[in-house]
Amino acid sequence: MDRRSAQAVKWSEGTEQPNTRVPLDACDCHHHIYDARYPFAGKAALRPGDALIADYKALQKRIGTTRNVIVQPSSYGTDNRLLLESIGHFDGKARGIAVVDTEVTDVGLRELHSGGVRGIRFNLAPPGTTTLAMVKPLAARIATLGWHVQVNAPAAFLLEARAIWADLPVPVVFDHLARVPQPNATQHPAFLMVRDLLQQQKAYVKLSGFYNESLVGAPSYADAVAEAAAYAREAPERVLWGSDWPHPTEQPHKIPNDAGLLDAFAEAVPGEAVRQLILVDNPARLYQFS
């Protein structure tokens, strides 16, 4: 076998098709690329096998998306070289979310923008390459570029930092349903906080990682589907969808079915008009697709 992990091979060579047909220019707003040609950061906690550009393109053919947003994994720290290389292989149909710290220069930010980057990600709680204290100063610096802040953290941490999310000069995008715990996620204070920020047009939320907090689990993810449906109902113009491929936090024997995840999204969002917003219009606006 070549550099690809068994996990990536499984999905790149899969044949199962989703029941859901996506609209023209549908965008997967959250996936990663891993390639052993680029070294992991020294303190990286996640060290998955390769999940290459070709593997992801095979997934696109299966699920029907044609635009994508590549998210810099925590595994590479602030080394965004693979991210920029990967964006360049999608003929203008990919954008990127980088990881930077407060040492990044303005020239560096402009170079990332020229390479297709449209936001910066903070993996928080516990802090690693980036910290909560970096959010505001970096948000101020990226505002003129039309970028946004993306955050991945447990709901309790997000809730403690609510004053920061409400007072940024750029939108904040919450990963993976904002990691709100089940059961009864829609009654949790973190869900209510995110809902309010969405309705105030200060935030977006990604309907991704249904498996992260679900107590019901595959194949229905019924509790996560209900939460996703509530976000889409409350603020359809501030919601995005992402595959989270290749699911680096999951054990190899628990890798979710990507076709099933897209169908779970469709169950949460049955209306074609709202799907058009979430899969096409909202990403086009946020990630500056022409």
176-217 pLDDT per residue, tens: 999 999 999 999 999 999 999 999 999 999 999 999 999 999
- Grade residue 2 by pLDDT with cuts at 50, 70 and 90: very low
- Grade residue 252 by pLDDT with cuts at 50, 70 and 90: confident
Q: Are 70 and 111 in contact (CB under 8 A)?
A: no
Average pLDDT over residues 260-267: 98
Whether residue 229 lies inside any domain: the answer is: yes
- Structure-token match 């990286």, residue found: 44
Whether residue 111 lies inside any domain: the answer is: yes
Q: Which of 221, 198, 215, 212 is nearest to 267 (CA)?
A: 221
Average pLDDT over residues 38-60: 94
Q: Which of 286, 288, 277 is nearest to 22 (CA)?
A: 277
Strand order of the sheet with strand 27-31?
A: 27-31, 67-71, 94-98, 117-123, 148-152, 172-174, 203-207, 239-241
Pairing of strands 67-71, 172-174: unpaired
Whether residue 207 lies inside any domain: the answer is: yes
Whether residue 75 lies inside any domain: the answer is: yes
Whether residue 1 lies inside any domain: the answer is: no
- Reported pTM: 0.94
pLDDT tens digit sequence for 119-139: 999 999 777 899 999 999 999
**Known catalytic residue: 244?**
yes
Task: Give the CATH number of the domain where residue 220 resides.
Answer: 3.20.20.140
Per the structure, how many domains does the chain have? 1
258-268 and 53-63 helices, crossing angle to 10°: 50
Whether residue 233 lies inside any domain: the answer is: yes
Whether residue 41 lies inside any domain: the answer is: yes
Q: Range of 59's domain?
A: 6-286
Q: Are 71 and 32 in contact (CB under 8 A)?
A: yes
Preceding amide of 283 cis, omega within 30: no
pLDDT tens digit sequence for 64-101: 999 999 999 999 999 999 999 999 999 999 999 999 99
pLDDT at residue 284 tops 90: yes
Whether residue 124 lies inside any domain: the answer is: yes
Identified catalytic residue from 28, 55, 244, 258: 244
CA atoms within 13 A on the CB side of 140: 7
pLDDT at residue 4 tops 70: no
